[in-house]
Amino acid sequence: MRASSNPTGTLARLRLSPENLHAAREGSAPGFRLAGAWRRMRPHVLLALPVLALLAAIGFGLAGWRILRDDDTIKALQAGRDVPVAVDAASPLLLARVQHLARRGVTEEIEPLIDVLDRRGEPDRSARARYALANARLRQAFGYLERGDLDPAGPLITLARQDYRRALQDRPDYWDAKFNLDVASRLLRDFPDFDRKSGDELKAEPNKIWTDIPGQPRGEP
Amino acid sequence: MRRAVSTSLVPLVLASSMAGPVQAQVRAVEVRAPRAFGYMLGDLVRAQVDIVVEDGFAIQAASLPQRGALAYWLDLRDIAVSQADAGDARRVRLDLTYQTFYAALDVRSLEVPGFTVSFVSQGASGATTASARVPAWTFTISPLREILPPAKENPQDYMRPDGRVASLDPRPTLFTGLGFAGLALAAFAGLARDRTWWPFRVRRGRAFAAARRRLRGLGGRPDAAEAYREALLALHRGLDETDGRRVLADDLDRFLDRHPAYRGQAPGLVAFFEASRIAFFGNDTARARGRLARPEIAALAARLARAERTA
């Protein structure tokens, strides 16, 4: 505003020159518009770049720290220490916890963790967790059989076979699961007292949901 | 892999067209598999069923077997339907994936149950249905372990171990983080150089940034007239340095032609040169300050320094 009242008239001459200059430079260089855009953006890019890089560095640093901490927990669990693990922990940590519980034979705490792995859509880890659970049950069944206590062993073997089967459904090339399913299946042959035809398959039968609960009386007297 | 398998499919069962009214509608049913032997517990068993039907017949999806357990030893995992024209007929292909859970003691033959598939054709006189019977077929399963494994004291030793979670390696993540930290440092150095922060205080092509800093340093001068003249001189020096020669009021439009980045600051520069003329040639600092006060000079220098960064 103040400049327009300028008595020297410098600005009036200036007003004309930009268009001339712009046209001249545009004609001479085809990439001029792009170069101009870059010149205008450069200060903003230079400001944004260190901020974004710093945020990324902090993010990766936090993730790395979390992995370090999880690895420590996994090592502690594998060393046999009973370290609690939250259900929202990383999947490898959950699997390590499942394997720890399976070694100690605490099968009832394993199933919620397997459900979490299932919900996360990780078939490989679900399969390995189910395999560990089935192994724990099979070991318990062996324990009963060694003491000559056949009644509780049968349902445990059936549950183990179901879990081996589910593990194999998630991972058909899981050779350890195939092997142990074979071991469990032959136990049923070796002890024909067990109900051989009982719910090994996983057919959804809403009316017979409780047929495989251990200790449930089944069949005719 | 699946394609490689299907090139070597072996026909297992060939059911020619059946007698009766169905004859014309369902012409052939063929079951094929990559092999009918050498399966073990837990293996996937694939089969391909080709059904040739009269043109116009479409498969009824509801009549296909359901996924899930078919028997205590057999699951149907997947069934895919594809159709193609085959001369005057239509070929419907079912790709079936089974999984067997039979724990065999010896090699033995297992029968995969057959099923019936319905087809329907919508004619002018109403719908015609036809059904194709996919026959049962057999494959042999092999045992995984010897019939009588060597005796072990602890029965648990027959089992394979539980497995262990591999230890986690944080290094890739941490190194990526370090890489980004280095990038942030380099980018910050670039920003500091662009803004002439320490240690890039003195650098070529940032004359207005230097002028602005000099203006800030004038803040506490007691003699206001002297400080005002120094402020004008600081900005003059910035202009001269930018252009590489002395810039006077009459050179302004040529200066702006040579440095179009500052064209937006033309009104401010015109006022500045006017104030400068009054202050130095008219020797009237008070009137010059009325034209362009000290804070306005500082603001102009800041705008010029910002424009300088986009030059």
Instruction: State the residue range of the domain holding B258.
Output: 190-309
Within a domain: B67 = yes
In a shared domain, residues B115 and B203: no
In a shared domain, residues B119 and B201: no
Closest CA of chain A from B155, distance in Å: 7
Whole-angstrom CA distances from A59 to A93, B92, B177, B179 are: 20, 53, 7, 12
Hey, of A99, A174, A185, A211, which one would you mutate to test binding to chain B, going by the most B CBs within 10 A of its CB? Answer: A185
| B276 sits in which H/E element | helix B266-280
- Tell me the domain boundaries of chain A: 84-221
The whole-angstrom separation of Cα A102 and Cα A108 is: 10
Within a domain: B171 = no
Min mean pLDDT across A2-11, B117-126, B130-139, B163-172 is at: A2-11
Neighbours of B44 (CB within 10 A): 15
Number of structural domains (chain B) is: 2
Within a domain: B151 = no
Residue B144 is nearest to which of A14, A59, A179, comparing CB atoms?
Answer: A179
CATH of the domain at B28: 2.60.40
In a shared domain, residues B211 and B78: no
Residue B125 has pLDDT above 90, yes or no: no
**pLDDT of amino acid B236:** 94
Q: How far does CA A147 lie from the centroid of its chain?
A: 40
In a shared domain, residues B210 and B113: no
Three-state SS annotation for chain A: CCHHHCCCCHHHHHHHHHHHHHHHHHHHCCCHHHHHHHHHHHHHHHHHHHHHHHHHHHHHHHHHHHHHHHHHHHHHHHCCCCCCCCCCCCHHHHHHHHHHHHHHCCHHHHHHHHHHHHHCCCHHHHHHHHHHHHHHHHHHHHHHHHCCCHHHHHHHHHHHHHHHHHHHHHCCCCHHHHHHHHHHHHHHHHCCCCCCCCCCCCCCCHHHCCCCCCCCCCCCC
A–B CB contacts, 8 A cutoff, strictly below: 196
ipTM of model over 0.85: no
Q: With cut-offs at 50, 70 and 90, classify the pLDDT of residue B123.
A: confident
Within a domain: B181 = no
In a shared domain, residues B233 and B140: no
Within a domain: B175 = no
Question: Please, is A65 exposed, middle or buried when counting C-beta atoms within 10 Å of its C-beta (0-12, 13-18, 19+)?
Answer: middle
**pLDDT of amino acid B133:** 92
Min mean pLDDT across A144-148, A205-209, B240-244 is at: A205-209
What digits encode the pLDDT tens for the residues A76-128?
A: 999 999 999 999 999 999 999 999 999 999 999 999 999 999 999 999 999 99
Give pTM, 2 decimals: 0.74
In a shared domain, residues B138 and B208: no
What digits encode the pLDDT tens for the residues B53-84?
A: 988 899 999 999 999 999 889 999 999 999 99
Residue B206 has pLDDT above 70, yes or no: yes
In a shared domain, residues B209 and B299: yes
Residue A203 has pLDDT above 70, yes or no: no
Q: With cut-offs at 50, 70 and 90, classify the pLDDT of residue B3.
A: very low
Mean pLDDT computed over B21-40: 84
Within a domain: B120 = yes
Last residue in a domain, options B144, B174, B208:
B144
The whole-angstrom separation of Cα B226 and Cα A17 is: 36
**β-pair partners for B69:** B75
In a shared domain, residues B222 and B136: no
Looking at residue B18, the DSSP 8-state letter turns out to be P
Q: Contact B253/A14, CB-based, under 8 Å?
A: yes
Last residue in a domain, options B115, B144, B173:
B144
